[in-house]
Amino acid sequence: AAKALEFTIFTASRTSETLRMPWSEIDLVEKVWTVPAPRMKAGRDHRVPLSGRAVEILEEVATLRTTGEPNEYVFPGQKPGRPLSSMSMLMLLRRMGLEGRVTVHGFRSTLRDWAGDTTDFSWEIASASLSHAVGDATERAYRRSDALAKRRAMMEAWAAYCEPKPDNVVTLKLAPKSPVA
């Protein structure tokens, strides 16, 4: 649940989009997650640029894969073939003592406020990152690009904002466990 929540924050996705995500939607080479239209609230495909940290999370949870099938859930639940429960992230926030002060969906609003209040990213780029329609029908008819490169820059900046590392802090990694003889 912790990795699912972290991934949801770094991608500014909805809970259901994250939990129901199969590996087939992920392109680790291009660092893009493509959520198909039927799974999107807006009913259209949505490409999500994956920040470096989002890719790291996917690489970490890849070790949980049991079948290797493309339709296997990235965040599997307790029951085989089922995704993590929709309550899992909420319960995590509760265990952290944050229930009532923080919601999973609220991180999407936080990204929008952060982008609008503290960055030079346009409101169109921030809105597109949330898969919100931008402009009226005429404007959308003429603007067919999803501005992936600009949204990628914004998502990397968002990741840096969410997970700042002071210059004097070194990330330590555990050494692999030795095989038991």
Active-site residue identified among 79, 142, 144, 165? 142
Active site residue 14: yes
Q: Is 158 exposed, middle or buried (0-12, 13-18, 19+ CB in 10 A)?
A: buried
Active site residue 108: yes
Active site residue 39: no
Active-site residue identified among 65, 94, 95, 105? 105
Report whether 43 contacts 148 (CB < 8 A).
no
Distance CA 53, CA 11 (A): 10
Report whether 6 contacts 57 (CB < 8 A).
yes
Active-site residue identified among 14, 47, 151, 152? 14
Distance CA 131, CA 41 (A): 9
Active-site residue identified among 46, 47, 53, 108? 108
Active site residue 46: no
Active-site residue identified among 31, 132, 150, 161? 132
85 token code pair: 């429960």
What ranges make up the beta strands (E) of the chain? 26-27, 32-35, 46-49
Active site residue 105: yes
Catalytic residues: 14, 41, 105, 108, 132, 142
